[in-house]
Structure 1
Amino acid sequence: MSTKDLNTLFDEAFANAQLIPQESVPQNMQLVLYGLYKQATSERTNQSQYQNPQDLINAFKLNAWMQVKHLTVDEAKEKYIEIINTLLKERNL
Structure 2
Amino acid sequence: MNSTELNKLFDEAFENAQLIPQSSVPIDMQLILYGLYKQATSNDSDRFFFRQDSQNIRGAFKLNAWMQVNHLSADDAKKQYIEIINKLMKERNL
TM-score range, shorter chain: over 0.9
Q: Say if 2:50 and 2:63, in contact at 8 Å, map to a contact too.
A: no
Name the structure 1 match of 2:8. Answer: 8
Q: Is the 8 A contact 1:16 1:84 kept in 2?
A: yes
Alignment TM-score, normalising by the size of structure 2 = 0.92
Question: Using the alignment, how far apart are the partners of 2:4 and 2:33 within structure 1?
Answer: 21
Letter in structure 2 aligned against 1:49 = F
Q: What is the RMSD computed on CA atoms of the aligned residues? A: 1.5
Equivalent residues in 2 for 1:46-65, closer than 5 Å: 46-47=46-47, 48-50=49-51, 52-54=52-54, 55-65=56-66
> What aligned pairs does 1:73-84 form with structure 2 within 5 A after superposition?
73-84=74-85
State the percentage of identical aligned residues. 64
**Which 5+ residue runs of structure 1 have no aligned equivalent?**
none
Retained in 2: the 8 A contact 1:39–1:76? yes
Give TM-score, length-normalised by structure 1: 0.93
What residue ranges of structure 2 are gaps of 5+ in the alignment?
Answer: none
Once the two structures are superposed, residues 29-64 of structure 1 have per-residue CA deviations (whole angstroms, 9 ceiling, x without a partner) of 0000000000000139843023x2331000000000
Q: Equivalents in 1 of 2:59, 2:50: separation in Å?
A: 9
One-letter amino acid of the counterpart of residue 89, structure 1 = K
